[in-house]
Amino acid sequence: MPSNVIALDCIIVGAGLAGLAAAQALKLAGHRVKIFEKSLQKGEVGAGINVTANATKILRFDFSRARALPCRGYQLFSANTLQLLEIASVEHNYEADFHFLYRPDYHKELKRLATTPTDIGNAATLYTDMKVVDVAPVEGYVVLADGSKHHADLIIGADGIHSITRQHISKDVIPVRTGWNAFRFTIPTEKLMRIQGVIDMYSRKSGWWSVLASDHQGLIWGELQNFVAYYESDEDVGSKGLGQNELLSELLAEFSKFNPIIVSILRIAEDIKPWVLQYQSPLESWSRGQLLLVGDAAHPSVADTIAT
């Protein structure tokens, strides 16, 4: 760290992707970092994530360690006939690569980077089962569930779409449903390839993003058997507390009119997670006093749907 830079004491609320990325950046700048995570063992859901070129340009990250797969392009199929409607390459279009990652792998590598000491900076300290229940942005401290106060020069609110820290910047912002939901799930490649007709849809090399679309639904998967099934609905299936068998029934009912080959794929879906797509109006500010918001706490991301 340059001698004219003062090391700050930093607290990060939340150990998700945004929180860990912030921890790594602050660590590399020579600051002292503590991360408070409310869950006992913070991890990411078993689903895929796309890291596009604008992110990879600034992310100093070993994608091979996180088992990333470079995206080469996408294919658009008819959901009913499986006719190939469009194909486009993304290679050589940008100054950086587009990657597919498994979210748990991405999270694991960011955590390793943030919590590993280097010649540039000390390791960030991660505290799990430590829930932040209040923040004093101007005074510069957070309050944990046990009543203890922890002071910092900088507080990063990285606690997601249902953020506690955001309430100290804007109390009136409530996430709004977009009218789109999704089921996210994975299927082992070996099982997938046993379904008659599937192999023909994998005629291209790895790294292609496939989209099957109808008027009000869409199913997206990558070569690494990550699936996202979008559909229009105002109902929050996740709030029903359904088990895997019931979620599978909901998934099959929603996509029953897709091509029989696709329905056969859906029947073997594993680890199904319902997902309500939400957005919020832009905040007037992402900071107040010593508090700064990042990630979904500041600007929840809505995944691209087939309607956009």
Same domain for 196 and 213, yes or no, is yes
pLDDT, position 3: 62
Residues 141, 255, single domain; the answer is no
* Residue 50, pLDDT score: 81
Q: φ, ψ for residue 222 (rounded to 5)?
A: -110, 175
Is pLDDT at 133 greater than 90 in this prediction? yes
Tokens, residue 268 = 């073997």
Q: What CATH number is associated with residue 150?
A: 3.50.50.60
Q: What is the pLDDT of residue 306?
A: 36
Pair type for strands 176-186 and 9-13:
unpaired
Which span out of 86-95, 160-169, 195-204, 295-304 was modeled with the highest average pLDDT? 160-169
Phi and psi torsions of 124, nearest 5°: -70, 145
Q: In terms of domains, do 164 and 233 share one?
A: no
Confidence (pLDDT) at 308: 30
Residue 114 · residue 250 · CB < 8 Å: no
Same domain, 36 and 129: yes
CA-to-CA separations, 255 to 13, 79, 223, 264, in angstroms, rounded: 39, 10, 21, 11
166/290 same-domain check: yes
Whether residue 146 is predicted with pLDDT greater than 80 in this model: the reply is yes
Number of domains in the chain: 2
pLDDT computed for residue 241 by the predictor:
86
| Residue 220, beta-bridge partner list | 211, 228
β pairing state of 32-36 and 9-13: parallel
Residue 205 pLDDT exceeds 60: no
Residue 293 dihedral angles phi and psi, to the nearest 5°: -95, 145
Q: Which of 74-83, 152-161, 172-181 has the highest mean pLDDT?
A: 152-161
- 111 has pLDDT over 70: yes
Q: List pLDDT tens digits, range 1-24.
A: 556 678 999 999 999 999 999 999
Res. 302: pLDDT tops 90: no
Q: Summarize pLDDT for 50-96 with one digit per residue, the tens.
A: 888 888 877 778 888 888 877 777 778 888 888 888 877 776 666 77
Q: What gap in Å lies between CA 87 and CA 211, rounded to an integer?
A: 10
How many other C-beta atoms can be found within 10 angstroms of the C-beta atom of residue 231? 20
> Are residues 266 and 232 part of one domain?
yes
Q: In what order do the strands lie in the sheet with 291-293?
A: 125-127, 32-36, 9-13, 154-157, 291-293, 287-288
119 in any annotated domain: yes
Mean pLDDT of 24-39: 95
Q: Say if residue 227 is in the same domain as residue 240.
A: yes
Identify the domain containing residue 160 by its residue range: 9-52+98-172+281-297
At residue 241, the 3 state secondary structure works out as coil
Which residue is it, tokens 């905040």? Answer: 283
Which pLDDT value is given to residue 305?
36
* Whole-angstrom distance, CA of residue 220 vs CA of residue 280: 24
CATH number of the domain residue 197 falls in: 3.30.9.30
User: Does 145 reside within a domain?
Assistant: yes
**What is the reported pLDDT for 24?**
94
Q: What is the mean predicted confidence (pLDDT) over 108-134?
A: 93
> Regarding beta strands 132-136 and 208-213, do their DSSP bridges make them parallel or antiparallel, or are they unpaired?
unpaired
To the question of pTM greater than 0.75 for the whole model, the response is yes
Quick check: 125 pLDDT over 90? yes
The percentage of residues in the chain with a pLDDT greater than 70, rounded to a whole number, is 85
Whose tokens are 């000491």? That residue is 117
Smallest CA-to-CA distance from 187 within 272, 67, 78 is with 272
What tokens were used for 157? 């609110």
**What is the Cα–Cα distance from 205 to 223, expressed in whole angstroms?**
9
Average pLDDT, the chain: 84
| pLDDT for residue 223 is more than 50 | no
> Which pLDDT score is estimated for 201?
67
218 and 157 in a common domain: no
140 and 183 housed in the same domain: no
DSSP 172-189: S---EEEEEEEEEEE--H
**Any domain includes 239:** yes
Co-location of 201 and 129 in the same domain? no
| Mean pLDDT across 161-175 | 86
